Amino acid sequence: MYGLKEKASDKKIEEAIYDEVLPAGLGWMHELKQGQTLRILDMEGNQAVDTTFYDLNNPEDHYSAMATIVAQRNIYITTGTILRTESGKALIEITADLTGCHDTLGGACSSQSNTVRYAREKINMHNCRDSYMLQLAVNEAYGIKKRDLAPNINFFMNVPVTKEGGLKFDDGVSAPGKYVEMKALEPAVVLISNCPQLNNPCNAYNPTPVRLLIWEA
């Protein structure tokens, strides 16, 4: 099913109103106005980008993996996917995608999951949940708290489902210069952790930067 809905964008980088490189392991939180488009560009390839979304006007109504999966009857997302909130509201639309498949099930790594999946001594390793928590603290004006941490999408991450119903973490499906692009259907807040994970191949055991660009409607 990979690559079935790959679609290039017609957006020109020189017309972007926002352009920032986010180093590996850091977080990012930003408002998207209705109609604006965000591109996440994988600069060096095989980098997982843990991302979730909130309704700007009602942050408690955040991205819902369940509502999104049920509505599209597919556990993976790509061009044409509508990302829905807990209330079922259409919040974000994937409008361009050069990989054709992104994970909705693997979740964000945390100190706890690192110890369970890998080893007790991994507890102090930096993780996506730490990045999320820091962004919530420095962007408190949005009113999003720890209890509002939501399920997330792992852009560019390859998490096949086994015949037994388990999950695997395999090499990523991206490459240098690949990107995914999304349009805000409603005013939204985007929360990103550019994943620092070193214990599985989702980042090719070498986390790298991504580029974030925004265009006006």
Q: What tens digit of pLDDT does each residue of 109-132 get?
A: 767 765 767 667 767 667 889 999
Query: Percent of the chain beyond pLDDT 90?
Result: 67
**Cβ atoms of 172 and 158 closer than 8 Å:** yes
Residue 125: the pLDDT is 66
Q: Is residue 129 part of a domain?
A: yes
Question: Is residue 8, in this structure, part of any structural domain at all?
Answer: no
pLDDT of residue 108: 82
Q: Identify whether 157 is part of a domain.
A: yes
Mean pLDDT for 179-207 is 89
Whether 7 maps to a domain, the answer reads no
What is each CA distance from 36 to 40, 49, 157, in whole angstroms? 13, 20, 24
Please report whether residue 110 resides in a domain: yes
Q: Which domain holds residue 107?
A: 22-215
Q: Which of 49-63, 84-98, 139-153 has the lowest mean pLDDT?
A: 139-153
pLDDT: which is higher, 135 or 147 = 135
On whether residue 12 sits in a domain, the answer given is no
pTM summary value: 0.91
**Is residue 135, in this structure, part of any structural domain at all?**
yes
User: Would 133 be classed as within a structural domain?
Assistant: yes
How many angstroms separate the Cα of 165 from the Cα of each of 87, 105, 161, 168, 196?
Answer: 27, 12, 6, 10, 26
Domain total in the chain = 1
